[in-house]
Amino acid sequence: MQPRRDGAPETRKTMLADFDLVIPANLTQALQILSEDATRNGHDAMPLAGGTNLLVDIRARRAAPKRLIALGKLDELRGTTIDNGRVIVGGRTTLTDVLRAPRMAEHAPSLVQSARVFGGQMVRNSATVAGNLCYGSPAADTVPPLLSLNAELTLASQAGRRVVPLNDFFLGYKQNVRRHDELVTEITWPLPPSNSANLFYKLARRKGDAITVVGLAVTLVVESGKCSCVRIALGAVAPVIKRALAAEAMLIDQALTPTLIDAAAGQAVEACEPIDDARASAEYRCHGVYVLTRRLLTQAWERLS
Amino acid sequence: MSEPAEYFRPLRPTELRQVGRPLARTDAPGKATGSTRYGGDYTMPGMLHAKVLRSPLASARLRRIDVSKARALPGVACTFTGADLSDRLAPTDIPGQTGAKRLDTGQSILVKERVRYYGEPLALVAAETPAIAQKALDLIEYDLDALPGVYDPLEALKPESPIVQGSNNIVAQLKIRKGDLDQGFAEADRVIENSYRTQFVEHAFLEPEVGLAWVDENDVINIRVSTQVIEHFRSIADAVGVPHNKVRIMGAMVGGGFGGKEDLTVEIYLALLTRATRRPVQLVYTREESFLGHGKRHPFVMTYRTGVTKDGAITALKVTITADAGAYVFLSPYVILYALVAAPGPYRIDNLHVDATAVATNNMYTSAFRGFGAAQACVAYEAQMDEVAKALDLERMAFRRRNFLRTGDKLATDVPIESAVWTDECMTKAWEALGERTPDSVPVKVGRGVACYQQSYGRIMWLHDTSEAWVGIEVDGTVTVRSGVTDIGAGQISALGQIAAELLGVSLSDVAIYHSDSSTTPLAGTTTATRALYMTGNAVRLAASAVRERLVARSAKALRATPSQVDLANSRAFVIDDPDRWIGFKQLVALCASEGIHRSELALFRAPFTDKIDPETGRGRVHPDYTYGAHAVEVAVDTETGEVTVLKSIGAHDVGRAINPAAVAGQIEGGAAQGQGYALSEEMCYQEGRLITLSLSEYLIPTAMDVPQIESIILESRSGLGPFGAKGIGEPALIPVAPAIANAVADAIGVRVYDLPITPERIVMALRQPDSME
Ligand SMILES: Cc1cc2nc3c(=O)[nH]c(=O)nc-3n(C[C@H](O)[C@H](O)[C@H](O)COP(=O)(O)OP(=O)(O)OC[C@H]3O[C@@H](n4cnc5c(N)ncnc54)[C@H](O)[C@@H]3O)c2cc1C
């Protein structure tokens, strides 16, 4: 008998199916590979960012891509900047990068709140914001904040770039408008004005490494004692994360009162189409939407008035 | 490792020099640096890789299974189905040390006809690579006819239910009849009855099951395996049909057991495959296979009916316990025995009836888990203590004090407790350590809870537990200890080193310890039942003491003193009243060697033996002794979302004597985390027997973000049966945690959640009840 020697190949224990790993050196190369793949190989390649969704799916045999295009070397897509009144997060930026970015707590309070309770440290070090959006889990934690911030995505391919509001990005459960030859290169949103509040709450069964039971983000802007803009985003209560538009409509141009907030919270529940699963019942999810909408609206209003 | 100089000062002979110090454990450096080898780190040239095919149905008849396509796959070396096996069964009874047969509870090694639980093994494959083995599993064809199943123990007791085991699904039934229950209830001013439910729980050890087997030049099947019990070599030999001395189990450091590696796991599969192929075979479970591959903690339904006087004296208690045994018997009869004994808790109850029943269902089988039935009982009896106190408007701790069992009082089974019972001291200290109360802040309410317990250490006395150990001294003065004990992460082995070092007057770094090899280390018994320190520690104490006696006698001669005037410490023998008269340990040992004085000893430690308890009354001794203690917590409950945050968590336990206080604190901290999961988030969910929480993203053990700083308070009554007066702490540390949290949540929100786990959802539901506070 001999113990395993250091450096010996570990493939014998791999639990993943076979795939080819392509590591482009820059964005141009990456887009070229994806474009060739889309035309010649019939989309059997997938971008690989942190792998915290994709590799899990491959191991569970939920995905079986023949090629993975690793984005690890695309440093040009990594980082956060401010340009022309907009915050820009690169398509390879990790959750840890978001937490470390200077002044992000002012530029996207809700996103920072969600990043703080996202997975655990190891996951945050690998997981990217773009991966979180593209995977499109109904429980994705960066989506409610980014919806509440009115974020837009830049999708790039060899053919060019297009900008898609996050609100229009999702088509259905784990489906979105991204074409196979496209990469998300940027996620941007306008700098929040000083008379705004932006909050997020993750309701989950434990505090670390938890899949969200209800994720709720609220943006409120108050002008002359009235709500001039409000966005309420609901996570994990429908096949797609979405805004509670009817509830928002009830609040616009109003001074918020407990009664009005209560009514809007009730209206937000109407927007939910939750399921029962091992984590929580549909009923509890609705309850969560109700209490959290009420809580975040109240906090936002109190902060601004 | 060098120890601080203070350990080398000459001490009075009654003082201990090694024992009682928080020394760095012998296993610590390897674990900290990653050089420790676990079972899965061992490989062999030409090794095959095994996989197990499991049933996708919980109740079915296997009509046909065809492995021909799998066999034909290049790279497949061997397959097994039930048809390839003799009628020998896989034993599921508690591993014995006496050869006496107890229960008839075997399970087919592979399904021959009847599938009784989801994941029951149908076939084995060994192949050149894990990928080929996996592919071969996919190629096995089989037909299963679904059969009606039963998935609830109370349902399973109904006459019309499908039969899973025996003639009526009852796999074990035990009772206690003590005192006069009717009289007791007649004396009560109030009678309070409640039912409590606990859930299926997974051990979730870090290291899933793993093993490597090969046949050696003596035709012995060697199995290197992650296990709590190397004594299984006998059952493995019986199951594959070879003599006992033709199977050898070698352990490795175990990455956690908690009872989940007490039963056989991969051993028989490996033995069959290596025997058939004559090649080394490795079997490594994934997390999912681990979830499917070993028994769980029994869910209990417990009804407590307590009679109590206005001033808080308990006059009568009637307890009914129904346990879900799952599809096979395994350790259920023993688990409900522990529950039976534990049912009243650490309280003196003169009029007591307990009925405990284990019922077979088509759920996953249930077996050993830290606390072994007594943990579930504590969830109920401590909740009930709070509920009774609340109903009578008594202060919770005063009510407990009024009823605490004290030394000399009779236990549930009507025999007196002889060792110290420091429940009160532990409860008081744990509560005090909570300090200032954290204030409420709407909508968050803060609550506090405490729970006390009684937990046995040492095996059931009619199992006739023994443990052997060998201690020897090399001519250079270094010490070797041999003990079959397995170390499942609690520092079992290091403690043996500390004991030997203490008695021989050397330092821990002078001791080398060989462990867990059923052929070459003296059999020490299982690492279960909080018995490892008690039993193997005593065996090492006996062996080291025998050697010490001879060394002391020889050194007394050399120092012209009497043996009683001589002590061993700091690697020398010296005259106690005149420490300048001394002889070096190495020199002394050389002297002994040249004179043929025996420098080693093989010792056997015997626990006290008894016969079984009376089947009608439950009267008699069940365990050698008990540990007592308490856990106190403070929680914050968000009354809107139902989320619970544990703010403070404090364990106070009388461990008799802490051989290594750092290791004791490790047990208390681990118990606090595991108990928190039990209380708040962990549940193996089965739907019609099918496991739906198949990964650690659905089965929610607490993370570092969830667990607060834990405070460990160690009390030492020195009254235990273990070495130097030690009791046990392995299981005890967990026991009171979940009920303390449950009590704190009830204190915070004013209503009780009677079922574990106390999820946010259950809290919200409880708060919606009309009788709940505001
Ligand atoms: C232990 C654990 C904990 C987790 N906790 C959380 C949590 O708390 N909250 C949460 O929301 N999620 C959580 N997740 C899920 C996961 O970490 C996130 O969704 C993460 O953001 C995915 O990012 P990634 O970079 O790892 O994506 P990957 O897994 O690499 O990719 C995900 C998908 O996005 C595509 N993709 C990635 N980048 C791009 C791009 N630039 N352009 C186009 N397509 C792209 C990939 O092709 C793939 O389809 C957790 C996962 C694990 C394993």
For range B417-431, the mean pLDDT: 98
Alpha-carbon dihedral angle through residues B136, B138, B141, B143, given to the nearest 10 degrees: 140
Give yes or no for a contact between B372 and B731, defined as CB atoms under 8 angstroms apart: yes
Give yes or no for a contact between B352 and B403, defined as CB atoms under 8 angstroms apart: no
- Domain termination site, one of A144, A174, A190: A190
Rounded Cα–Cα distance for residues B205 and B483 (Å): 24
Do A63 and A85 belong to one domain?
no
Distance from CA of A298 to the nearest CA of B (A): 13
CATH code of the domain covering residue A151: 3.30.465.10
Q: Is A36 contained in some domain?
A: yes
Domain count, chain A: 3
Rounded Cα–Cα distance for residues A219 and A293 (Å): 11
Q: Looking at residue B8, what DSSP letter applies?
A: G
Q: Which of residues 142-181 of A touch B (CB under 8 A)?
A: none
Q: Is A90 contained in some domain?
A: yes
Start-end of H helices in B165-243: 181-187, 233-240
Using CB distances shorter than 6 Å, the residues near ligand 1 are: A 46-54, 56, 71, 91, 118-119, 123, 126-128, 130-132, 134-135, 140-141, 178, 183-184, 209
Contacts of B213 (CB under 8 A, 6+ apart): B221, B222, B223, B224, B225, B267, B270, B271, B273, B274, B280, B281, B282
Q: Whose CA is nearest to atom 23 of ligand 1?
A: A131
Q: What is the mean pLDDT of chain A?
A: 93
Which has the minimum average pLDDT: A26-40, A203-217, B121-135, B195-209? A26-40
In chain A, pLDDT over 90 holds for what percent of residues? Answer: 88
One-letter amino acid at B638 equals D
The predicted structure's pLDDT at residue B34: 95
Other CB atoms within 10 A of residue B208 CB: 24
Give yes or no for a contact between B197 and B754, defined as CB atoms under 8 angstroms apart: yes
pLDDT digits (tens, 9 = 90+) for B132-175: 999 999 999 999 999 999 999 999 999 999 999 999 999 999 99
For range B686-713, the mean pLDDT: 96
Taking CA atoms, B136 is separated from B128, B204, B612, in Å, by 11, 28, 49
Q: Is A50 contained in some domain?
A: yes
* HSE-up (13 A, CA, CB side) for residue B475: 6
Contacts of B579 (CB under 8 A, 6+ apart): B10
Distance from CA of A283 to the nearest CA of B (A): 9
Do A278 and A204 belong to one domain?
yes
Does residue B279 belong to the interface with chain A, where contact is any CB pair within 8 Å?
no
CATH code of the domain covering residue A50: 3.30.43.10
Of A2, A207, A280, which is closest to B703 when you measure between CB atoms? Answer: A207
Query: Per the structure block, which two tokens stand in for B457?
Result: 């250490």
- Rounded to the nearest 5 percent, the helix, strand and coil shares of chain A are 35, 25, 40
- DSSP output for A64-112: --SEEEE-TT-GGG--EEEETTEEEEETT-BHHHHHHSTTHHHH-HHHH
Do A112 and A172 belong to one domain?
yes
What is the domain extent for residue A55? 20-70
pLDDT digits (tens, 9 = 90+) for A57-115: 999 889 999 999 999 999 999 999 999 999 999 999 999 999 999 999 999 999 999 99
Give yes or no for a contact between B636 and B645, defined as CB atoms under 8 angstroms apart: yes
Compare all CA atoms of chain B with the CA of A282 and give the residue at the minimum distance. B761
pLDDT digits (tens, 9 = 90+) for B214-235: 999 999 999 999 999 999 999 9
Do A184 and A234 belong to one domain?
no
- Domain termination site, one of A148, A165, A190: A190
Question: What is the bridge-based pairing of β-strands B352-360 and B170-178?
Answer: antiparallel
Other CB atoms within 10 A of residue A276 CB: 11
pLDDT band for A10, please (50, 70, 90 cuts).
very low
Query: Is residue B309 over pLDDT 70?
Result: yes
Contacts of A103 (CB under 8 A, 6+ apart): none
Rounded Cα–Cα distance for residues B764 and B755 (Å): 13
Query: Per the structure block, which two tokens stand in for B230?
Result: 């190397």
Give yes or no for a contact between B739 and B661, defined as CB atoms under 8 angstroms apart: no
pLDDT band for B4, please (50, 70, 90 cuts).
very low
Give yes or no for a contact between A207 and A107, defined as CB atoms under 8 angstroms apart: no
Peptide bond into A24 cis (omega under 30): no
Q: Whose CA is nearest to atom 18 of ligand 1?
A: A132
pLDDT digits (tens, 9 = 90+) for B717-735: 999 999 999 999 999 999 9
Q: Looking at residue B82, what DSSP letter applies?
A: G
User: Can you give B344-391 as a three-state secondary structure string?
Assistant: CCCECCCCEEEEEEEEECCCCCECCCCCCCHHHHHHHHHHHHHHHHHH
Q: Is A14 contained in some domain?
A: no
Element (H, E) at A22: strand A20-22
Q: Is A8 contained in some domain?
A: no
Task: Verify whether the Cβ–Cβ distance A295 to B43 is below 8 Å.
Answer: no
Question: What is the bridge-based pairing of β-strands B686-687 and B690-691?
Answer: antiparallel
pLDDT band for A29, please (50, 70, 90 cuts).
very high
pLDDT band for B2, please (50, 70, 90 cuts).
very low
Cα-atom radius of gyration of chain B, to the nearest Å? Answer: 27
**CA A288 – ligand 1 centroid, Å:** 25
Q: Looking at residue B434, what DSSP letter applies?
A: T
The predicted structure's pLDDT at residue B97: 78
The predicted structure's pLDDT at residue B104: 72
Buried b (16+ CB within 10 A) or exposed e, A129-154: bbbbbbbbbbbbbbbbbbbbbbbbbb
Q: Which residues of chain B neighbour A209 with C-beta distances below 8 Å?
A: 697, 703, 705
Which has the minimum average pLDDT: A23-27, B8-12, B207-211, B516-520? B8-12
Query: Per the structure block, which two tokens stand in for B182?
Result: 């009717």
Give yes or no for a contact between B307 and B346, defined as CB atoms under 8 angstroms apart: no
pLDDT digits (tens, 9 = 90+) for B606-650: 999 999 999 999 999 999 999 999 999 999 999 999 999 999 999
Query: Per the structure block, which two tokens stand in for A298?
Result: 């109240």
| Residue to substitute from B35, B129, B253, B643, interface A, most A β-carbons within 10 A | B643
Rounded Cα–Cα distance for residues B359 and B374 (Å): 17
Number of H helices, E strands in chain A: 12, 15
The predicted structure's pLDDT at residue A13: 42
**CA A209 – ligand 1 centroid, Å:** 13
Could you give phi then psi for residue B315, rounded to 5 degrees? -105, -20
Phi-psi region of B306 (alpha: psi -120 to 50; beta: other; left: phi over 0): beta
Query: Is residue A1 over pLDDT 60?
Result: no
Query: Is residue A305 over pLDDT 60?
Result: yes
pLDDT digits (tens, 9 = 90+) for B554-598: 999 999 999 999 999 999 999 999 999 999 999 999 999 999 999
Do A42 and A63 belong to one domain?
yes
Among residues B444, B430, B440, B529, which one has the least CA distance to residue B740? Answer: B430
Query: Per the structure block, which two tokens stand in for A271?
Result: 């927007």
Could you give phi then psi for residue A27, rounded to 5 degrees? -65, -45
Rounded Cα–Cα distance for residues B157 and B160 (Å): 9
Query: Per the structure block, which two tokens stand in for A41?
Result: 């190989």
Rounded Cα–Cα distance for residues B261 and B255 (Å): 10
Could you give phi then psi for residue B288, rounded to 5 degrees? -65, -45
Q: Is A27 contained in some domain?
A: yes
One-letter amino acid at A62 equals R
Do A49 and A116 belong to one domain?
no
Taking CA atoms, B590 is separated from B476, B499, B551, B580, in Å, by 8, 23, 11, 21
Q: Which residues of chain B neighbour A213 with C-beta distances below 8 Å?
A: 760
Query: Is residue B452 over pLDDT 50?
Result: yes
In chain A, pLDDT over 70 holds for what percent of residues? Answer: 94
Rounded Cα–Cα distance for residues B682 and B202 (Å): 8
Among residues B20, B24, B22, B17, which one has the least CA distance to residue B2? Answer: B24
Do A250 and A215 belong to one domain?
yes
Does residue B215 belong to the interface with chain A, where contact is any CB pair within 8 Å?
no
Question: What is the bridge-based pairing of β-strands B466-473 and B479-483?
Answer: antiparallel
Q: Which residues of chain A neighbour B700 with C-beta distances below 8 Å?
A: 205-206, 210
Query: Is residue B198 over pLDDT 50?
Result: yes
Rounded Cα–Cα distance for residues B421 and B412 (Å): 15
Query: Is residue B6 over pLDDT 60?
Result: no
Do A94 and A183 belong to one domain?
yes
For range B303-317, the mean pLDDT: 98
Rounded Cα–Cα distance for residues B570 and B8 (Å): 6
Q: Is A43 contained in some domain?
A: yes
* CA terminus-to-terminus distance, chain B: 60
- Domain termination site, one of A174, A190, A206: A190
Do A142 and A168 belong to one domain?
yes
Q: Which residues of chain B neighbour A206 with C-beta distances below 8 Å?
A: 680-681, 700, 702-703, 705-706
Give yes or no for a contact between B412 and B179, defined as CB atoms under 8 angstroms apart: no
For range A263-269, the mean pLDDT: 98
For range B694-715, the mean pLDDT: 97
Biggest alpha carbon–alpha carbon distance for chain B: 85
**DSSP E strand boundaries for B40-149:** 42-43, 48-54, 60-66, 76-81, 89-90, 107-108, 114-115, 121-127, 141-146
Rounded Cα–Cα distance for residues B266 and B268 (Å): 6
Distance from CA of B45 to the nearest CA of A (A): 7
Query: Is residue B30 over pLDDT 70?
Result: yes
pLDDT digits (tens, 9 = 90+) for B106-130: 899 999 999 999 999 999 999 999 9
Q: Is A10 contained in some domain?
A: no
Do A110 and A210 belong to one domain?
no
Query: Is residue B41 over pLDDT 70?
Result: yes
For range B36-52, the mean pLDDT: 97
Query: Per the structure block, which two tokens stand in for B84?
Result: 């390839």
Of A120, A213, A292, which is closest to B703 when you measure between CB atoms? Answer: A120
For range B542-546, the mean pLDDT: 98
Q: Which of A52, A77, A113 to mutate to test the pocket of ligand 1 (most atoms within 8 A of CB)?
A: A52
The predicted structure's pLDDT at residue A40: 75
The predicted structure's pLDDT at residue B14: 59
Other CB atoms within 10 A of residue B602 CB: 15
CATH code of the domain covering residue A246: 3.30.390.50
For range A7-21, the mean pLDDT: 59
Element (H, E) at A172: strand A170-172
The predicted structure's pLDDT at residue B106: 86
Do A105 and A186 belong to one domain?
yes
Domains of chain B: residue spans and CATH: 4-36+466-606 (3.30.365.10), 43-147+203-293 (3.90.1170.50), 300-412+419-460+612-768 (3.30.365.10)
Query: Per the structure block, which two tokens stand in for B334?
Result: 């023993």
Do A96 and A176 belong to one domain?
yes
